[in-house]
A and B are shown apart, each in its own frame.
Chain A
Amino acid sequence: MAVHSDSASSGKKSSNGPNELLTFNAENMQNNMKIIYYSRTFLSIIGGVVAGILGFTGLKGFVFYLLLMGLTSLGLVAKAGFSTHTYFDSWNRVLLDGFLGGLMSFVLFWTFAYDIVHIF
């Protein structure tokens, strides 16, 4: 995915030494946040289509969405080399950022695929 190729590699903030000096390059941080957002949105759309085709209903679908978000977070953390503190300023950002927006897209495409495949 082209989005991932230039992702966390450009997110430089000065690493903190033993005395916790934290400085952030705001532009790089914004770039990283944008990349998280794109990845989440893209995966929610794909995940929605997959869930619809596989015929998940009700709770199973939402569990699938949560799994998907967890997978996204894991992937992002792995790409950041497991040292998220050099690329983001807090854990919550990388874990929870595009969650709700992704949920709406997921539900839309889930409904769409489910209807096309199963009802009609």
Chain B
Amino acid sequence: MAEDLVLDTAIRDWVLIPLSVVMVLIGVLRYFVSKLMNSSQTPDTKIVKEGQVVVRARNLRVGANFIPSKAFRARKIYYCNEENGLLFVPKGQGQNPQAQMFSDPNMAMDMMKKNLSMIIPQTLTFAWVNFFFSGFVAAKIPFPLTQRFRSMLQNGIDLSTVDVSYVSSRSWYFLNLFGLRGFFSLILGEENAVDDTQRMMQMGGFGFDPSKGLSAEKDNLDITQHDWALPNFEQRAEAVLRKVIS
């Protein structure tokens, strides 16, 4: 029963396009505001040191096959030694970075600012959409959905016989919210694209990273086997030289 509703052109002019334009503009605005408000925080020396130790251990793991086995073992013991190895963190101390991070006023302020700058525009826009654009059919999505989605997509429209493909403007808002992420990454360039849903997922595991990173790196290093590549280097050199000559 796909009766084709004929929708007013005014809806297209005054609902669809303005809503998309507003969301794009708000995204760009948020990007610039976040760049302006980005207070440069002096990083904590302890955390930076731990980060660098993890990086060194990782480099050792990656390049393990290029150094002689005795050298590798010496380095491995230096990192993983139970008493004074760099990567060994007794259980009690591991909690410190997280507690420090929350008690440090600067960092807490920064996290709060980032959270707010994400939530407020979304809330405002949503309220605006609900206030102005409710109670009529806004768009037709090109693919059919089941009846269960009706309450989610058509919440302003109280007729139950209208096809589920005809959605209200609230669902157009959500569609824009998700679909414009890729668009933002194109026009705003690189990682600074407003990828708020990803950042919200990152917020959960933020404070706990340093202590877990150390022990994870230690475990990884413990299980690395040493397989010295030097004996086979001659074959590699031969292959490369062949390619160069031919």
Contact = CB atoms under 8 A, between A and B. Distances in A.
Interface of A: 17-19, 21, 23, 34, 37-38, 41-42, 44-45, 51-52, 56-59, 61-62, 98, 101-102, 104-112, 114-116, 119-120
A80 B5 CA distance: 48
Q: Nearest 6 CB-CB pairs, A to B?
A: A108-B179, A17-B236, A41-B182, A105-B182, A120-B12, A104-B178
B183 A45 contact: yes
A21 B186 contact: no
Given A104-B178, A104-B181, A105-B181, A115 B232 contact: no
Q: At the interface, is chain B mostly helix, strand, loop or mixed?
A: helix
B176 interface: yes
Contacts, number: 95
Contacts of A59: 143
| Interface size class, chain B | 35 or more
B142 A41 contact: no
B168 to A, nearest CB: 13
Interface string B1-25: 0001111110110001000100000
Contacts of B6: 119
Given A18-B236, A105-B179, A112 B143 contact: no
Nearest to A23: B62
B7 A17 contact: no
B16 A112 contact: yes
B26 interface: no
Give the most central of A23, A45, A102, A105: most B CB within 10 Å: A105
Contacts of A111: 139-142, 172, 175
A115 B178 CA distance: 18
Contacts of B172: 111
Contacts of B69: none
B142 A56 contact: yes
Contacts of B9: 120
A120 to B, nearest CB: 4
